[in-house]
Amino acid sequence: MSFVAIVRQPINPSDILERVGSEEDGANILFVGVVRNHNDGFPVKGVRYEAYEKMAKSVLEEIVMEARSQYGTDRIATVHRIGDLVIGDVSVAIAVSSHHREQSFLASRYIMEEIKKRLPVWKKEYYLDGREDWTQGATPGSPQLTEPE
């Protein structure tokens, strides 16, 4: 029941959330990543995401399958946008539903962290001062992700 896509059109978070959920679930969550107006102290006016789409979709499917296995839910929808985006545009949306909230939160977090590490999508930022720069992926310091008990 999982859904994965790499898209060029705007992402509607409500549409992604509607792809998950069941009467047996007590938790439906949605993570929405948006383009922010700064990076490393410099004002940003927009970004460009580029990808080898077939490979990116395959890797995203692998990540979602891992989350399904580790966190015990197959009700996951994940979409990543590529192309030119402006401040406030949705770049990624992850919806997860499960019996209990912990599963949904952990699965969503796992997917986002793995996207940052492994997804073959590259980001170029356009700064207000006219500079352009490809950014390096980073994994934030975070607690170890674990399976629910």
| CATH number of the domain enclosing 52 | 3.90.1170.40
Flag whether 136 is in a domain: no
Report the percent of the chain where pLDDT is more than 70: 91
Show Cβ contacts of residue 70 under 8 Å, excluding neighbours closer than 6 positions.
106, 107, 110, 147
Q: Is residue 22 part of a domain?
A: yes
Asked whether residue 140 is assigned to any structural domain, the reply reads no
Q: Tell me the residue range of the domain where 39 lies.
A: 3-129
Q: Could you tell me if residue 35 is inside a domain?
A: yes
Confidence of residue 38 (pLDDT cuts 50, 70, 90): very high
pLDDT band at 135 (very low <50, low <70, confident <90, very high): confident
Q: Is 127 exposed, middle or buried (0-12, 13-18, 19+ CB in 10 A)?
A: middle
CB 1 within 8 A of CB 73: no
Task: State the pLDDT at residue 137.
Answer: 57
Q: How many domains does the chain have?
A: 1
Q: How confident is the model at residue 24 (pLDDT cuts 50, 70, 90)?
A: very high
Residue 29 tokens, joined = 């969550």
Would you say residue 42 lies in a domain?
A: yes
Whether pLDDT at 140 is above 90: no
Is the residue at 51 inside a domain?
yes
In a domain, 141, yes or no: no
Tell me, what's the pLDDT at 1? 85
User: Does any domain span residue 10?
Assistant: yes
Least confident of 1-5, 40-44, 117-121, 143-147: 143-147
Closest C-alpha to 8, from 38, 51, 37, 45: 51
| Angstrom distance (rounded) from CA 49 to CA 123 | 5
Rg of the chain over Cα atoms, rounded to whole angstroms, equals 16
